[in-house]
Structure 1
Amino acid sequence: MWRETVSRAAGLAACLLLGLMPAGPASADPLGPHRLGRPATPEAIAPWNIDVRPDGAGLSPGRGGVAEGRAIYAARCAGCHGEAGQGGAADRLVGGQGTLASSKPVRTVGSFWPYATTLFDYVRRAMPFDAPQSLSDAEVYAVSAYLLHLNGVVPADAVLDAASLPAVAMPNRDGFVADARPDVTEK
């Protein structure tokens, strides 16, 4: 008991000496006692608040089809992902159906991803690699349509928008199990 008390006191003293714990009451200043950063205003957060949920919540206005997507993909995506999404310097995006239970699964948009909305979210947020978030919403819908077409998920004349994209049934939609942890919920 005595050793625990001494050890706790020594730890607290070390934290105070190193300045890791506040010496007094919490500061009411939004920048904190060290005056670092700036307050996160709704205007500052809005450009980063672009997530899209599986049910389509967060999808933006716009529309794009397979034909437009083919041209955009050739210009902005093929350099990394290969001409037909079969792979290049970056991950393969097409194929892999039926391989997930094999010893060498091929995880692509068409074989692994459970939601088409996730494709839109990822492309809009992170692609192209050299210029993330540079595609317009219409271009993201078009590239998504093209990739889904290459994977045999939508027909060649498909045009996607905020209403049709969440309705796309991905081949591996039911390939995931529910997560029973209380902090993980599907919305």
Structure 2
Amino acid sequence: MKLIILDRDGVINYDSDNYIKSVDEWIALPGALEAIARLSRAGWVVTVATNQSGLARGYYDVPTLEGMHQVLRDAVQQYGGHLGLITYCPHGPDDGCSCRKPRPGLLQQIAEHYHTSLDGVWFVGDSLRDLQAAVAINAQPVLVGTGKGGQTRTQELPEHTLVFADLAAVADYLLN
């Protein structure tokens, strides 16, 4: 199985320090939806693992989050693609859960869902915690320059981290 895992905010859609709190605030990054669809049409299973502490903070509720994810799914489908499992951590940073990245719980949920190992699977993110989660399960850490990626790039990255401009560049690389 060709599997790829994506972070959401900053990789697929615009991010905000004030959180993405509504369907109207969820705006795809240029080329991201097309990139997901291209990967999907080429036989890749594209999944998402996203921290959503805005739930714990009371900024939005689960139906609102599910609405954002339905908009994402519908948009990818309009480009002829399919989006696989979306996992999310609803906890706050101090809740001590096992699913909040950099902990690997969300990625382990994906592995269990698809009955597969994540060794070498690409996990594309824009933050250091995304890359650390990838390393924790022996996945390939991939940093994009969108979202917080430019700021993250100035930090010490995990060994063997691959760096791309954006999700479209990741798809170009994997499909060529």
**Bigger radius of gyration:** 1
* TM-based fold match above 0.5: no
TM-score normalised by the chain length of structure 2? 0.26
- The structure whose residues are more often strand, as a share, is 2
